[in-house]
Structure 1
């Protein structure tokens, strides 16, 4: 099945070059991070290399979430970057993307309370800013299981987790990535610290806005210091209710976070948009490059992508399902479509079907 082509929309903005860190992107169509749950024992495969290599025409590819430590895993069959074997496996992916003329950042994602003892060899509880459960569930091969109440992180845990992010970022460089994106969105660990309902600490990491943004700022500062600010991006999703997040003050938190991150000069901030007014506040507070994930349906997303660039709301746009189903997305946008429709049944897990077998225009 094909989604309809867009019509009568000027797409020129999408194909202008843009500087991100020290990279010159040939277009402003960024492939958003998407979990695909096809790793085997924490290792990506040759099929993963083929999948990302097929999409090398993106201005920038941001990978699926990659756990920086064992306890950072939140889902089954997701990949890591905390062992030599994982580094070697990811090298095949970066080689495939670079061989196709592309650029690729590794998204480092610590799931925090969105985890489960069944994921960890020692059966440990997941960790979080506070002992507050998400209220959600995890999919396992034995069925759906409730997320447990996590263990509240000690100050030593927090310091060790900062170092885990640093080590994973260095591993990403060894694996050949062009940079890393630090995941502070979608209800995962960094987002949990930002959110007053998930973070009820009474120490220097909880309570006030200044305290709740501290951990994210420390991670960004440590990683930019380790691998260079031009190789670091940060993803946020203000007002996003995913994974049990309830933010009562995002209009205060995110501009404050931008001000805290600005001295570190990361290459970009990447917003998964839930509230246009907050996006505008972030844009006003952030002096650097901004990537935005806008829109809804295929036609609307392409039109919205061009529109937000034209309005100066961002510098590049990220798209998810459109890249998943259309490995040749820039060519399709230039042609006015049509677009392959993504198959939700094959989003997570499985083999090549719904992964590397979406046809290009030339194969139709």
Structure 2
């Protein structure tokens, strides 16, 4: 089979445009990083960074965003790309990396990020993840955690909540199999177990749901201020699923601010203007339409995006949500 021709075709199909336009969404205001607040950054896909001035956490740490040129070099970490993102985001140290599952768009760069962030530190960056992650992370300290397990990292209290991976359509499965075959990335074919992360802090509570699926009542009783909710592939599941997904995540957690994540085309370079996944892969327009209808039915809930690489202060975000402003910030060109 002609790998270059196949990947060129895949590049065309997945590179098509999306009917959903992120520029039309409201964005949380950016602010300088301060030591007396809960700072948050969105770094594409499911990469959510939290920092309270003393301790910092990062979900996944996937920044290579390797395009179809991976047929030449293989599906491996692009160290220059990772270094560039960490530099632009101002991340110089990490206490912990929290890995959702073992697909490449979550775990490919985790080990490199942990090693880089451990340089010059008395205590190396720790990686926490599923049992299947041990097969990928082989040369750095790795801690396997189980469903419901809670760990304390500085002032952060992290509870690992097992949730299923969102189902893929046959079209997406075929595209993924061809891509992994052509790039030699078969080790990332299976997600294994999957985690969501409930992160409590005296300055506010955060729920990160990297993969857009749920077990019934799993988030019942949580006290969440802001939820980073995976939006990828949700539109392929239909309106009923989207409604149930919202009810089981946003509804049960009590989140006031909803930030969709994992909606971007992760074969394109991370920048301050992310490109959505194409309509060929996912119906993001449907997902966001239903999300907005659900939010409209609850005056206490607001949907926002976050400018990639930029800092957001949680308290400022909550203040903005409470004021119900019509427009927070325009999309930065």
**TM-score when normalising by structure 2:** 0.39
- Larger RCO (alpha carbons 8 Å, 6+ apart): 2
Greater percentage in helix = 1
**TM-score when normalising by structure 1:** 0.36
